[in-house]
Amino acid sequence: MEALENYIDGKLVPPGDGRYLDNINPATGQVYGQIPRSGQADLDAAVTAAEQARAGWQATPAEQRAALMERIADLIDRNLELLAAAESEDNGKPIALARSLDIPRAASNFRFFAHAITQFASESHAMGEAAINYTLRDPIGVVGCISPWNLPLYLFTWKIAPALAAGNCVIAKPSEVTPKTAYLLSQLCIEAGLPAGVLNILHGLGGEIGNAIVTHPGVKAISFTGGTATGAQIAAQAAPKFKKLSLELGGKNPSLVFADCDLDKTVAGVARAAFANQGQICLCGSRIYVERSIYPEFRERLLERVTALRVGDPLSDVDQGALVSEAHMGKVLGAIETARAEGGKILCGGERLVPDGRCAQGYFVAPTLIEGLPLACETNQREIFGPVATLQPFDTEEDAIGMANGTDYGLAASVWTENLRRSHRVARQLDFGIVWVNCWLQRDLRTPFGGMKNSGVGREGGLEALRFFTEPKNVCINY
| Residues with catalytic function | 248
Query: Which is closer to ligand NAD, CB of 162 or CB of 251?
Result: 251
Length of the chain: 479
The residue range among 118-126, 181-189, 205-213, 297-305 that interacts with ligand NAD, by the rule CB under 6 A, is 205-213
Q: Is 363 in the site for ligand NAD (CB under 6 A)?
A: no
Could you list the beta-strand ranges (E) of 293-362: 345-348, 352-353
In which region does residue 445 sit, left (phi positive, over 0), alpha (psi from -120 to 50) or beta (all else)? Answer: alpha
| Residue 326 near residue 28 (C-beta atoms within 8 A) | no
Could you list the beta-strand ranges (E) of 118-226: 124-127, 131-139, 142-146, 169-173, 199-201, 221-225
Q: Is 176 in the site for ligand NAD (CB under 6 A)?
A: yes
Residue whose C-beta lies closest to ligand NAD: 206
Determine which residue in the list 53, 116, 214, 434 makes contact with ligand NAD, applying CB under 6 A: 214
The residue range among 41-49, 98-106, 207-215, 289-297 that interacts with ligand NAD, by the rule CB under 6 A, is 207-215
Q: Is 227 in the site for ligand NAD (CB under 6 A)?
A: yes
Q: Is 150 in the site for ligand NAD (CB under 6 A)?
A: yes
| Residue 263 near residue 294 (C-beta atoms within 8 A) | yes
Q: What DSSP string describes 440-477?
A: SS---TTS-B--EETTEES-BSHHHHHHHTEEEEEEEE
The residue range among 133-141, 188-196, 203-211, 337-345 that interacts with ligand NAD, by the rule CB under 6 A, is 203-211
| Residue 234 near residue 224 (C-beta atoms within 8 A) | yes
Q: Is 149 in the site for ligand NAD (CB under 6 A)?
A: yes
Closest CA to 180 of 99, 87, 281, 252: 87
| Residue 460 near residue 450 (C-beta atoms within 8 A) | yes
Q: Measure the CA–CA gap between 222 and 384, rounded to whole angstroms.
A: 26
Query: Which is closer to ligand NAD, CB of 226 or CB of 285?
Result: 226
The residue range among 108-116, 221-229, 261-269, 341-349 that interacts with ligand NAD, by the rule CB under 6 A, is 221-229
The residue range among 68-76, 105-113, 171-179, 285-293 that interacts with ligand NAD, by the rule CB under 6 A, is 171-179
Q: Is 179 in the site for ligand NAD (CB under 6 A)?
A: no
Determine which residue in the list 54, 173, 216, 301 makes contact with ligand NAD, applying CB under 6 A: 173
Determine which residue in the list 162, 386, 456, 461 makes contact with ligand NAD, applying CB under 6 A: 456
| Residue 235 near residue 457 (C-beta atoms within 8 A) | yes
Q: Is 146 in the site for ligand NAD (CB under 6 A)?
A: yes
Determine which residue in the list 230, 320, 379, 414 makes contact with ligand NAD, applying CB under 6 A: 230
Determine which residue in the list 152, 210, 269, 410 makes contact with ligand NAD, applying CB under 6 A: 210
Beta-sheet pairing, 456-457 with 470-478: unpaired
CB of 223 to ligand NAD, least distance (A): 11
The SS3 assignment for 237 reads: helix
Q: Measure the CA–CA gap between 383 and 62, rounded to whole angstroms.
A: 40
Q: Is 175 in the site for ligand NAD (CB under 6 A)?
A: yes
| Residue 387 near residue 353 (C-beta atoms within 8 A) | no
Q: How many residues bind ligand NAD (CB under 6 A)?
A: 30
Q: Measure the CA–CA gap between 155 and 106, rounded to whole angstroms.
A: 8
CB neighbourhood size of 81 (10 A): 12
The residue range among 1-9, 32-40, 100-108, 142-150 that interacts with ligand NAD, by the rule CB under 6 A, is 142-150
Q: Measure the CA–CA gap between 50 and 72, rounded to whole angstroms.
A: 19
Q: Is 233 in the site for ligand NAD (CB under 6 A)?
A: yes
CB of 416 to ligand NAD, least distance (A): 22
Query: Which is closer to ligand NAD, CB of 103 or CB of 192?
Result: 103
| Residue 211 near residue 238 (C-beta atoms within 8 A) | no
Find all residues with CB under 8 Å of 472, minimum gap 6, and list them.
122, 135, 136, 137
CB of 153 to ligand NAD, least distance (A): 13
Q: Is 206 in the site for ligand NAD (CB under 6 A)?
A: yes
Q: How many CA atoms lie within 13 A of 102 on its CB side?
A: 33
The residue range among 20-28, 114-122, 133-141, 219-227 that interacts with ligand NAD, by the rule CB under 6 A, is 219-227
Q: Is 207 in the site for ligand NAD (CB under 6 A)?
A: yes
Determine which residue in the list 270, 411, 413, 465 makes contact with ligand NAD, applying CB under 6 A: 411
Q: Is 448 in the site for ligand NAD (CB under 6 A)?
A: no
Closest CA to 314 of 272, 364, 269: 364
Query: Which is closer to ligand NAD, CB of 362 or CB of 456?
Result: 456
Query: What is the footprint of ligand NAD within residues 242-281 (CB under 6 A)?
Result: 248-251
Name the CA radius of gyration of the chain, rounded: 23
Q: Is 161 in the site for ligand NAD (CB under 6 A)?
A: no
- Which helix (H) or strand (E) segment is 47 a member of? helix 40-59
Query: Which is closer to ligand NAD, CB of 313 or CB of 460?
Result: 460
State the DSSP code for 320: B
Q: Measure the CA–CA gap between 418 and 437, rounded to whole angstroms.
A: 9
Q: Measure the CA–CA gap between 270 and 255, rounded to whole angstroms.
A: 7
Query: What is the footprint of ligand NAD within residues 367-406 (CB under 6 A)?
Result: 383, 385
Give the binding site for ligand NAD (CB under 6 A).
Answer: 146-150, 155, 173, 175-176, 206-207, 210-211, 214, 225-227, 230, 233-234, 248-251, 282, 383, 385, 411, 451, 456
